[in-house]
Amino acid sequence: MRSVSDVRRVLRFLHACLGNAMLDQIKGDKTWGILQGEFERGNKPAAVNRRLSVLRNLLRMARDEWQWIDTIPKIRMLKGEIERDRWLTRAEADRLIACCAPHLAAVVRYALATAGGQVAAPRKSPASNGNGWTWRAIPPGSTRPRTARRGEFR
């Protein structure tokens, strides 16, 4: 969830689905009903998972932190959702660097310049530029692509 308003929106939806059910009355059959209703509306697994995640986290907090209930149903996320990589635009990267403290700006510039270590990596070497570090280029295609849980390429 991106914001508190997103969580509120999902909680309002869950309130409409669960009615006046108490926390200890939320069992697998109610979560299954929410799941089926979401698919009937034509929602994709990612949208359903967001709502199930809020419900699961709420029930965990009620059990573990608030100690209002003793047990919770097992709520599993649906398969079929592939996590998306998000790349910063040049303008977003410039704003990020401008917002950083000076000692962190160098680290952020390094991470952006090396794509998180996937383009080039520094290494210690006796024959270096005086500070003990040299750059080693990683040829394209030599690293394994990142994959989702199901083993599909992203």
Q: How does DSSP classify residue 140?
A: T
What is the full per-residue pLDDT of the chain (154 aa) written as tens digits?
568 888 889 889 889 888 888 988 999 888 898 889 988 999 888 888 888 999 999 999 999 999 999 999 999 888 876 666 677 888 888 898 999 998 888 888 888 887 655 544 445 455 544 555 554 554 554 444 455 455 554 4
Residue spans of the domains in the chain: they are 4-64, 90-137
Please state, in angstroms and rounded to a whole number, the distance separating the CA atoms of residues 48 and 14: 11
- Residue 121 confidence (pLDDT): 46
The owner of tokens 């003990």 is: 132
* Alpha helix segments (H runs only) across 3-154: 4-18, 28-40, 45-64, 90-99, 102-113
Report pTM.
Answer: 0.53
